[in-house]
């Protein structure tokens, strides 16, 4: 049974404050290890500005904090820039993500490295922290698909015995990124969660909404694995599958105007602006199209 659980979620692109370090001062290097070492060196020289739980913003964080408070347990954050951090750790402001189109993603692609390679090197001084945590403590893990790609190799080291006290919350896309021997740990949440009052939301915070429902409504965190899965299935059985409304379609010029209006608020950061378009403004914009528009606008606004 789950007795003293630890909750693990992901960091967010929305962060408090404006002073942030990024990779702009790091030269393009030949290996993932060199890049990770250079980044760790930059981070080590920056004074922490806030606790992790106050740095990261958005519903995914508030839902995670609510679940942790309900259980009276600690929670941790998977960060592509800092590794695995505790919610009350003091951390610096930073920009570092493996999201498509980001500086780090482009650097990794240029050296034929994956997000998992980056995570392995970033956490090399603390070998496989997530799998070690799961081995030591019952764990409720709420991550989107992109973060499962990041920690895939780490999770692959979770033993069958440890898997018995692991509960995973993610979308259908995320479930496809989970190591095969952990697939039964995925709680069977799907789009029917949108039908439950107070638990509807955006795709980006689906995992954390499912976690909060599991903990605060079902109070299922102490159930054995099979019974936990059955409790989720029963809770969703009579719920409607709510069709996700399609994002609005706009012309290049219309999207350009939206980006200009929000440019300063999101500091011109491509990943933050793309997330704004898709998750908040609900505007349809394919990755390559967005990159083209953003790059042209970045040049224009610098002049």
- The answer on 149 and 72 residing in a single domain is yes
Last residue of a domain, one of 236, 263, 284: 236
CA–CA separation, 173 vs 207, rounded Å? 11
| Residue 245 belongs to some domain of the structure | no
pLDDT of residue 241: 81
* Per-residue DSSP letter, 224: -
Residues 221 and 265 in one domain: no
Kindly state whether residues 179 and 267 are assigned to the same domain: no
Token couple for 99:
């999201």
Q: Find the helix packing angle between 103-110 and 115-122, rounded to 10°.
A: 100
Burial 39-52 (b: 16+ CB within 10 A, else e): bbebbeeeeebbeb
Shared-domain flag, residues 268 and 151: no
Tens digits of residue pLDDT in 223-264:
999 999 999 999 999 998 866 556 778 888 889 888 988 888
pTM as predicted: 0.82
User: Are 82 and 177 within one domain?
Assistant: yes
The residue out of 236, 265, 282 marking a domain boundary is 236
In the chain, count of helices (H) and strands (E)? 15, 7
- Pick the last residue of a domain from 236, 269, 289: 236
Cα–Cα distances (Å) from 261 to 252, 264, 282, 298, in that order, read: 14, 8, 15, 13
**Same domain membership, residue 114 and residue 261:** no
What phi and psi values does residue 62 have, to the nearest 5 degrees? -65, -35
The one-digit pLDDT tens for each residue of the chain (303 residues) are 445 789 999 998 888 877 889 998 898 888 999 999 999 999 999 999 899 999 998 899 999 999 999 999 989 999 999 999 999 999 999 999 887 778 898 899 999 999 999 999 999 877 778 999 999 999 999 999 989 999 999 999 999 999 999 999 999 989 999 999 999 999 999 999 999 989 998 888 999 999 999 999 999 999 999 999 999 999 999 998 866 556 778 888 889 888 988 888 888 888 888 888 887 788 888 888 888 898 888 888 775
Query: Cα separation of 17 and 176, whole Å?
Result: 35
State the Rg of the chain over Cα. 19
Task: Looking at the structure, tell me whether residues 263 and 200 fall in a common domain.
Answer: no
Take residue 271 and report the two structure tokens written for it: 């990943």
Residue-level pLDDT at 275: 81
Asked whether residue 151 is domain-assigned, the answer is: yes
Domain that holds residue 260: 252-302
Whole-number pLDDT of residue 246? 61
In a domain, 247, yes or no: no
Asked whether residue 76 is domain-assigned, the answer is yes
Residues 29 and 38: beta-carbon distance below 8 Å = yes
Q: Is residue 56 part of a domain?
A: yes
Residue 275 has what DSSP assignment?
H
Tell me if 244 is assigned to some domain.
no
Same domain, 217 and 276: no
- Both 228 and 265 in one domain: the answer is no
> Could you tell me if residue 110 is inside a domain?
yes
The confidence score (pLDDT) of residue 2 equals 45
Token output for 103: 């500086």
User: Residue 174: inside a domain, yes or no?
Assistant: yes
Q: How many CB atoms lie within 10 A of CB 33?
A: 15
Asked if 158 and 182 touch (Cβ cutoff 8 Å), the reply is yes
Q: Domain tally for the chain?
A: 2
290 and 232 in a common domain = no
**Are 115 and 162 within one domain?**
yes
Evaluate whether 203 touches 209 at the Cβ level (below 8 Å): no
Question: Residues 278, 195: one domain?
Answer: no
DSSP alpha helix (H) spans, 111-205: 115-122, 129-136, 145-150, 152-155, 160-163, 172-175
The residues, ordered by sequence, that sit 6+ positions from 253 with a Cβ below 8 Å of its Cβ are none
């Amino acid at each position: 049974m789950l007795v003293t659980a630890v909750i693990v979620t992901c960091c967010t692109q929305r962060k408090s404050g404006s002073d942030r370090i990024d990779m702009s001062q790091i030269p393009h290097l030949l290996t993932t290890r060199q890049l990770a070492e250079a980044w760790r060196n930059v981070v080590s020289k920056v004074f922490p500005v806030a606790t992790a739980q106050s740095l990261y913003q958005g519903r995914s964080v508030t839902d995670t904090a609510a679940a942790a408070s309900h259980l009276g347990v600690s929670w941790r954050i998977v960060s592509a820039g800092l590794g695995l951090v505790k919610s009350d750790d003091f951390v610096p402001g930073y920009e570092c993500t493996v999201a498509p189109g980001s500086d780090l993603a482009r650097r990794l692609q240029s050296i034929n490295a994956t997000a998992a390679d980056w995570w392995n090197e970033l956490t090399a001084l603390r070998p496989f922290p997530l799998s070690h945590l799961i081995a030591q403590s019952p764990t409720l893990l709420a991550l989107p698909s992109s973060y499962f790609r990041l920690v895939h190799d780490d999770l692959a080291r979770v033993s069958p015995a440890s898997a018995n006290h692991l509960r995973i919350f993610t979308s259908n896309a995320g479930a496809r990124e989970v190591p095969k021997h952990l697939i039964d740990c995925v709680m069977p949440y799907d789009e029917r969660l949108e039908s439950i009052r107070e638990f509807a939301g955006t795709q980006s915070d689906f995992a954390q909404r499912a976690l909060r429902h599991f903990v605060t409504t079902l109070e299922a965190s102490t159930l054995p694995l099979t019974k936990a899965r059955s409790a989720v299935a029963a809770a969703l059985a009579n719920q409607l599958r709510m069709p996700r409304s399609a994002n609005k379609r706009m012309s290049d010029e219309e999207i350009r105007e939206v980006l200009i209006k929000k440019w300063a608020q999101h500091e011109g950061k491509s990943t933050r602006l793309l997330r704004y378009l898709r998750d908040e403004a609900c505007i349809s914009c394919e990755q390559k199209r967005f990159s083209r528009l953003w790059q042209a606008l970045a040049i224009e606004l610098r002049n």
